[in-house]
C-alpha cells in the first residue's frame, strides 16, 4: 500500500495537505507511525475532531455554575472534568465542594435523579453527532417515566458545518479530508456532499486501524490524481451512505441546529444542537438562571490554531513547558484524542 501511495503522489506531482478530522484518527496516525511512512510533501493536518477540545470556555463555566446551585447535581462524562474553564476546571470545582458526578452514560443520570428526588439533575451533554442519540434516548425515557428532575445542558457540536467554515476561511490549504468513522456511522456520507460539490475537495470516510487509514489515504490520492472530488466510504463495515436514519430521526425529534461557539474557532452558524421548544422544560439554560463572564483563551495558547490545522502543537510556545497532560493550559492537551496530547505522548513522530 505504501508503494501505491508513493506512486500516486509522484503522479500528482505537487505537495498535498490532508486533514484527518477525528481525534481517534490523530491518535492512531501517531501510534502507528503513519506520518513517517508517507512521502515528503504529503502532509497530514489534525482538525477539530476532538469534542473535548472544541468545548468552549463558556460552556465549561456554565456547567460549573450549574453545579454550584444549591439544589443541583451536575452529571458529566469523565473526560470533561479536567478541561480548563475561565478560572477553573470541573475537577477543581468539585474539589472546592461543587456537586458534580461522573457518569458513563446519560442514562446513569436517571438513576441519580431517582436517588435524589429533592435535587435537580443536570447532564452536561457534550460531544459530536455520535453521542447525541444517547442523550435523545435519555430524554425519551425521562418523559415516559415522568422523571421531572432531569435536565440537559447541551454543548453538542456538528462536524459538517465546522468543515465548511474551515474551507470558507481559507486559512489553511486542504486538498482532502479523512472523515470521521464514528460520527459517520450516525449521519452517513450525505452531509459531507457540500465539501466535495461546493469546495471540490476529495473526501474519504475511513476506519481507525493502520490499514484503514492507509487505505483511506490511497483512496484520497487516487481521487486527486484523477481530478475527482467526491465522498467515498472506506469504512464500509459500519458506515453507509444514509448512516443510521433511526438515530438521526431520534436526534431531530428532541434537538434542532443552533449557532454554537467552538473553542479557538469561534461562533459557527448551525453547528450545535439545542433542545426543541417542546422540550424546553428539560433545558437547563431555560430552567435555571445563571450568568458567567466572558473569558478569553489563555495567553500564548495556540489551541485554536491547532484545531484549525494552521499550526502543529510543537509550534506552540507553551507546548511541553507550561502546558502538559498533567497540567494542561489548553483543551487540546486534556483529552487522549487531543492533538497536543497525541503529539506529547508520541514525541518521536512530532516534527512531521
In a domain, 273, yes or no: yes
* Residue of 288, 348, 312 whose CA lies nearest to 152: 288
In a domain, 167, yes or no: no
In a domain, 191, yes or no: no
Q: Grid coordinates standing for 215? A: 487505505
Alpha-carbon gap, residue 145 to 142, rounded angstroms: 5
Domain span including residue 132: 52-157+243-287
In a domain, 25, yes or no: no
Q: Grid coordinates standing for 35? A: 506520518
In a domain, 292, yes or no: no
In a domain, 249, yes or no: yes
In a domain, 10, yes or no: no
Which pLDDT belongs to residue 97? 95
Beta strands in the chain (DSSP E): 16-20, 42-46, 72-76, 100-102, 120-127, 150-156, 176-179, 202-205, 231-233, 255-262, 266-275
3's CB contacts (< 8 A; 6+ apart) are: none
CATH code, 150? 3.40.50.11740
* Domain count of the fold of the chain: 1
Q: What is the pLDDT along the chain (352 residues), one digit of tens a residue?
A: 899 999 999 999 999 999 999 889 999 998 899 999 999 999 999 989 888 899 999 999 999 999 999 999 999 999 999 999 999 999 999 999 999 999 999 999 999 999 999 999 999 999 999 999 999 999 999 999 999 999 999 999 999 999 999 899 888 889 999 999 999 999 999 999 999 999 999 999 999 999 999 999 999 999 999 999 999 999 999 999 999 999 999 999 999 999 999 987 889 999 999 999 999 999 999 999 898 888 888 889 998 899 888 888 989 999 999 999 888 888 899 888 888 998 898 864 444 4
Give 220's Cβ-side CA count (13 Å radius): 30
Pairing state of beta strands 42-46 and 72-76?
unpaired
In a domain, 247, yes or no: yes
Amino acid at each position: 500500500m505504501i508503494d501505491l501511495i508513493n506512486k500516486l503522489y509522484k503522479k500528482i506531482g505537487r505537495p498535498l495537505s490532508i486533514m484527518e478530522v477525528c481525534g481517534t484518527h490523530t491518535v492512531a496516525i501517531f501510534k502507528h507511525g503513519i506520518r513517517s511512512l508517507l512521502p515528503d510533501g504529503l502532509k497530514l493536518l489534525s482538525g477539530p475532531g476532538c469534542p473535548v477540545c472544541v468545548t468552549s470556555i463558556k460552556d465549561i463555566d456554565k456547567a460549573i455554575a450549574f453545579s454550584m446551585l444549591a439544589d443541583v447535581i451536575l452529571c458529566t462524562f469523565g473526560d470533561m472534568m479536567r478541561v480548563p474553564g475561565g478560572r477553573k476546571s470541573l475537577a477543581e470545582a468539585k474539589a472546592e465542594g461543587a456537586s458534580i458526578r461522573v457518569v458513563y452514560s446519560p442514562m446513569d443520570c436517571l438513576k441519580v435523579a431517582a436517588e435524589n428526588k429533592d435535587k435537580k439533575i443536570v447532564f452536561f451533554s457534550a460531544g459530536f453527532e455520535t453521542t447525541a442519540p444517547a442523550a435523545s434516548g435519555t430524554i425519551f425515557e425521562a418523559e415516559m417515566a415522568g422523571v421531572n428532575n432531569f435536565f440537559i445542558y447541551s454543548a453538542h457540536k456538528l462536524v459538517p458545518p465546522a468543515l465548511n467554515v474551515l474551507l470558507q476561511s481559507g486559512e489553511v490549504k486542504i486538498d482532502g479530508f479523512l472523515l470521521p468513522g464514528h460520527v459517520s456511522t450516525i449521519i452517513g456520507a450525505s452531509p459531507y456532499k457540500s465539501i466535495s460539490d461546493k469546495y471540490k475537495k476529495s473526501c474519504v470516510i475511513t476506519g481507525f486501524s493502520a490499514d484503514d487509514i492507509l487505505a483511506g489515504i490511497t483512496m484520497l490520492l487516487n481521487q486527486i490524481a484523477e481530478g475527482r472530488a467526491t465522498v467515498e466510504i472506506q469504512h464500509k463495515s459500519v458506515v453507509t451512505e444514509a448512516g443510521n436514519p433511526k438515530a438521526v430521526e431520534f436526534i431531530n425529534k428532541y434537538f434542532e441546529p443552533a449557532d454554537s461557539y467552538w473553542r479557538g474557532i469561534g461562533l459557527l452558524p448551525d453547528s450545535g444542537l439545542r433542545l426543541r421548544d417542546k422540550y424546553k422544560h428539560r433545558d437547563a439554560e431555560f430552567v435555571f438562571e445563571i450568568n458567567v463572564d466572558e473569558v478569553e483563551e489563555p495567553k500564548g495558547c495556540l489551541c485554536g490554531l491547532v484545531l484549525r490545522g494552521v499550526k502543529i502543537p510543537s509550534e506552540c510556545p507553551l507546548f511541553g513547558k507550561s502546558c502538559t497532560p498533567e497540567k494542561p493550559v489548553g483543551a487540546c492537551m486534556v483529552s487522549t484524542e487531543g492533538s497536543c496530547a497525541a503529539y506529547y505522548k508520541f514525541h518521536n513522530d512530532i516534527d512531521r
